[in-house]
Structure 1
């Protein structure tokens, strides 16, 4: 696949945006190890949005990786070394290098049991989605594009599929279901029907994921270009019932002004209006977006029917403020955001 246009585009983007990648590959090669750019950076290189954070995979074990990075990078940190990952920074480029892995998850555990693999194909099979299961091998005679699960085809079609059966993938790491919603919001991707069906079937599995990891994915959805898509996916699949139950409850409430079919739609509309005005306030702002989305979550608890067919929500802003604080605390948001 060396003459594939996608390969050429990815290589060109890599050379232009991340010239240090080739020198890192050379550092691994002289020690007898392989090194491949992998995952999101390959996807982003193909679509022309490669950043300065690069992920690599290698057959070198973590301690060997650490030695190589110590001679190549200006700074090295090993907080993820127990999971096979060593990170480093040189100039403006941050790299994470992970040993080929095959992971086994305890169904009741939040963390994987890491086993090192012996091939890049096995490593790619444990990635979350096919569009993130592509690699660019950099230590051969020439760069080689590796795509065993047709990620390039799915990238062109803007669709999210899993390399293995969706149920197996989501049981292994339930947070991948929230990542699906996030990528749909960030990249304007559709979710394959079998993946969406599995998300609905396994929504309850998100309960084993730590609040911090859930929070981080939720923030990425909120800060995306189109959070409506991701939020609606969380609601439609039942995931929000577990991680943000106040949001789906808004669908049960009719807006008292009858401008919207429900308070949920009204809240999403207010969020979108806030996003449109953000540039006046210095750009994307998480607190403003959260306030816009959650401003009416007190309405389900304060609904009262008025004679003649009306409905009121007296003091919903007071009740809502308490609910917002409780939910954000449960998701381990920092005090500055909560207050």
Structure 2
């Protein structure tokens, strides 16, 4: 293959190289070394995108790199030294300089065996895709493109510098990266790349869950997540990464009595992403929690599918089953607890609205909806609206109008009372003071009773709350039993001011 070396023509390629890049290049060249800007930052120059992270490659050994940059950089670190990488910050840029590599990989290992090389072309050969295997020699700005990266970028094709089998054997995570680049850049996979991914999909299992998770997050948050997910499923990678999504491809029975749950889920993902609001809105995009909940919301359907008498298909409790499956999958992929709980909770709540349009809700039901969603309410609004993919415009309009009405009801109730954290009108300390109790399960029951009253009837003034509490207490078996120890003497403080811990609490 002929090597392509071009001097960048800034009249035909609309970009400017930051002076920091040229200055660093001169330092290395003046010391007798080579330095090139490489990989993603070069690709992004052609795409007209800014890149705050700059990757360089050099023939200098890590010791020589440190010597050249330690007084020049704002600060530097040597965490990646064993892999030939020195990191630093300079003028707001995060920079990594890596010694030319000629990696040797153990096919059964998750990590490369590092071997340093001496050739820029050999270094580019070991990179994942041709669009990332381009370099700018510094400070001359000579483009080195031995594998046709510019051509493939122009044609929106994802190809590998060498045989794709070699690339994916070296690092199987590159198969996930292929799907991610398709989602981010809108490129299509060259046929040999797609075929290699399909044949080698099982090799993804030797990659750590954390690395797979990070690529999945980037894919889901990309401009075209549907394309990336579809690639994972079509090549079989999803069987090992997100098997619950692959399982959504339910075979239609001969009477076509249910819609394609898989395509529906992809459409909901797409529609949810379109409903994100900008940086000043309540759900700034891209929002992984909303998008992943949209993808996973129906994964409980295969396990709950039933063919009813008369030909109907039901998926009873698929929301609850799907929530548990989502949580399990995210734990396997090593997601943090907060993200896992948020996505699983949205999956659990995604069907809650559907009773509203049919029967209408009391104020109590609206309060419970808001309280159960908690800080996820804005995401739940968007997920529920996205979960309408019917081609029946009348049905779609009816559901949309019903949800408009629900949001208006929430706004109206919010004007009268705080719905953000519904609590009883009396707190634990007040309950104990009024009833002469010490901390224990009975206080928790009283708290739960007042919470139910608050949900059902809205805020009460302290006198009415006290009256209801005393009436409830009179009917309790413990009311006839003296307290095991004297009740604490306390002045009734405003609700929410007590720090008393209850032994029994109700998670709203």
Q: Which residue of 1 aligns with 2:102?
A: 102
Describe how 1:201-240 pairs up with structure 2 within 5 A.
Answer: 201-240=199-238
Describe how 1:15-164 pairs up with structure 2 within 5 A.
Answer: 15=17, 18-139=18-139, 142-164=140-162
- Shift, 1:3, TM fit: 4.3
Q: Which residue of 1 aligns with 2:469?
A: none
- Shift, 1:4, TM fit: 5.2
Residue 333 (structure 2) pairs with residue 326 (structure 1): no
SS in structure 1 of the partner of residue 197 of structure 2: helix
SS in structure 1 of the partner of residue 88 of structure 2: strand
CA distance in 2, matches of 1:9, 1:25: 23
Q: Which has the higher contact order (CA 8 A, sep 6+)?
A: 1
- Shift, 1:50, TM fit: 2.8
**Conserved 8 A contact 1:42-1:134:** yes
Label 1:14 to 1:259 Cα distance change in 2 as closer, same or farther (>3 A): farther
CA distance in 2, matches of 1:152, 1:337: 38
Q: Which residue of 2 aligns with 1:314?
A: 316
CA distance in 2, matches of 1:20, 1:260: 59
**Conserved 8 A contact 2:266-2:295:** yes
Q: Which residue of 1 aligns with 2:375?
A: none
What CA deviation, in whole Å up to 9, does each residue of 1:271-315 have, x standing for no partner? Answer: 111111101522221111111111111111111110111111111
**Conserved 8 A contact 1:14-1:50:** no
Residue 246 (structure 2) pairs with residue 248 (structure 1): yes
What CA deviation, in whole Å up to 9, does each residue of 1:28-81 have, x standing for no partner? Answer: 222221110001111110121131111100001112212222122112122211
Gaps of 5+ in 2: 342-508
- Shift, 1:13, TM fit: 2.3
Q: Which residue of 2 aligns with 1:296?
A: 298
What CA deviation, in whole Å up to 9, does each residue of 1:163-197 have, x standing for no partner? Answer: 00011111111111111111111111010011111
CA distance in 2, matches of 1:33, 1:296: 56
**Conserved 8 A contact 2:249-2:262:** yes
- Shift, 1:26, TM fit: 1.8
**Conserved 8 A contact 1:260-1:266:** no
CA distance in 2, matches of 1:303, 1:176: 36
**Conserved 8 A contact 1:136-1:144:** yes
CA distance in 2, matches of 1:32, 1:9: 31
Describe how 1:189-200 pairs up with structure 2 within 5 A.
Answer: 189-200=187-198
Describe how 1:169-208 pairs up with structure 2 within 5 A.
Answer: 169-208=167-206
Gaps of 5+ in 1: none
How many residues are treated as equivalent by the alignment?
331
More strand by share: 1
CA distance in 1, matches of 2:311, 2:330: 35
- Shift, 1:260, TM fit: 7.3
Deviates more, 1:277-286 or 1:54-63: 277-286
**Conserved 8 A contact 1:296-1:320:** yes
**Conserved 8 A contact 2:198-2:235:** yes
- Shift, 1:259, TM fit: 10
SS in structure 1 of the partner of residue 179 of structure 2: helix
Pick one of 288, 294, 302 that aligns with 1:286. 288
What CA deviation, in whole Å up to 9, does each residue of 1:8-34 have, x standing for no partner? Answer: 666x6242xx32111111222222211
CA RMSD, Structure 1 to Structure 2 (Å): 1.8
**Conserved 8 A contact 2:257-2:311:** no
SS in structure 1 of the partner of residue 108 of structure 2: coil
**Conserved 8 A contact 1:253-1:263:** no
